[in-house]
Structure 1
Amino acid sequence: MKIILVAVGRLKSGPERDLCTRYIERAQAGARSVGLTGVEAREIDESRARRPEDRKAEEARALLALLPGGVRLVVLDERGRSLSSADFAADIGHSRDDGAPAYALVIGGPDGIAEELRSKAHKVLAFGAMTWPHQMVRFMAAEQIYRATTILAGHPYHRV
């Protein structure tokens, strides 16, 4: 199973992109040891549609076009529920064990996630009740993917 971090918007060069890249590379390095075929990050441009509903719908179509069939879709949304890192890792492990071809963690654009995409989600998660800038959410998600691979591997990176 491949883990894919998919986001609306392109990160510019800088510390946020560097952190995201660092955690994706770390997760990729340990992926095979926990039965994963890979870890990658993908991004799409923000929609230029005038109305928020149209932007969200256009972005949802573009996000879905990047994902393989049978993907286990997880959407990050401020209205989602919070999971512990261990529970997030367990969900990835269960998805792998169930034979899902991919596990995609999706970050929407500034207007949020279209309901059509949200309704297809296996889970809708939030990084707490606060609103976070998209750049920070991206590297926080990348770090949680890396942390999940270390939890699945029994590596001491994650301490409780």
Structure 2
Amino acid sequence: MRLIAIGKGGAGPERELLARYAKRIRPELTLTELPDGTGSAAEIKRREAEAILAALKPDEFVIALDMGGAEPDSPALARLLAGWLERSKKLAFVIGGAEGLDAAVLARAGAKLSLGKLTWPHMLVRPMLAEQIYRAQMILAGHPYHRAGRP
């Protein structure tokens, strides 16, 4: 399972948190970082799209993080993850840059996922996504990590 993300994340708590959850995910979530594009907004999206599309493998099922994507709760994400894994054992989650993902990347995606309507810094989205993938796997395994009830 891969996470392909625009931008280089330096050392810090966000990277440490991503690493913590990435190691718990099976198969382990690996990170591929691609450089930010340059130029106008349209040029940035185009250049980042070229880099993302070049990084994707033909047999990967792509899940694009996009504001217009599905906004499941954690149990629904677990069901989506199970379905995606039935389609392909090779999943690639894609996080675009500040300008978002180009239409060419969205067209390549087999699914679109949103973490909600709030705007999040890209470096925080990485560990948040990793935690949700881990949580989904724990839900599917029947592990008590996810507490569905409210106190």
Q: TM-score, normalised by structure 1?
A: 0.85
Which residue of the partner structure matches residue 15 of structure 1? 13
Task: Report the alpha carbon displacement of residue 157 of structure 1 after superposing the two structures with TM.
Answer: 0.7
Structure 1 stretches of at least 4 aligned residues deviating more than 6 Å after TM superposition: none
Aligned to 2:135: 147
Q: Which residue of 2 aligns with 1:54?
A: 43
Q: Which residue of 1 aligns with 2:56?
A: 67
User: What letter corresponds to residue 83 of structure 1 in structure 2?
Assistant: P
Q: What is the rounded CA distance, in whole Å, between the counterparts of 2:53 and 2:93 in structure 1? A: 12
Matches within 5 A, 1:54-133: 54-98=43-87, 100-133=88-121
Q: Which runs of 5+ in 1 are unaligned?
A: 32-36
Residue-by-residue CA offset, 1:53-96 (whole Å, 9 max, x unaligned): 11111111211222221221111112223111222222221222
- Report the CA distance between 1:39 and its aligned residue: 2.5
Instruction: Quote the sequence identity (%).
Output: 38
Give the TM-score of the pair, scaled to structure 2: 0.90
SS of residue matched to 1:119: helix
Tell me, what secondary structure is at the counterpart of 2:144?
Answer: coil
RMSD: 1.5
**Structure 2: unaligned runs, 5 residues or longer:** none
Question: How many residues get paired?
Answer: 148
For 1:146 and 1:17, the matched residues in 2 are separated by 16
Amino acid corresponding to residue 78 of structure 2 in structure 1: A
| 1:107-138 Cα shifts (integer Å, max 9, x gaps) | 10011100111122222221111111111111
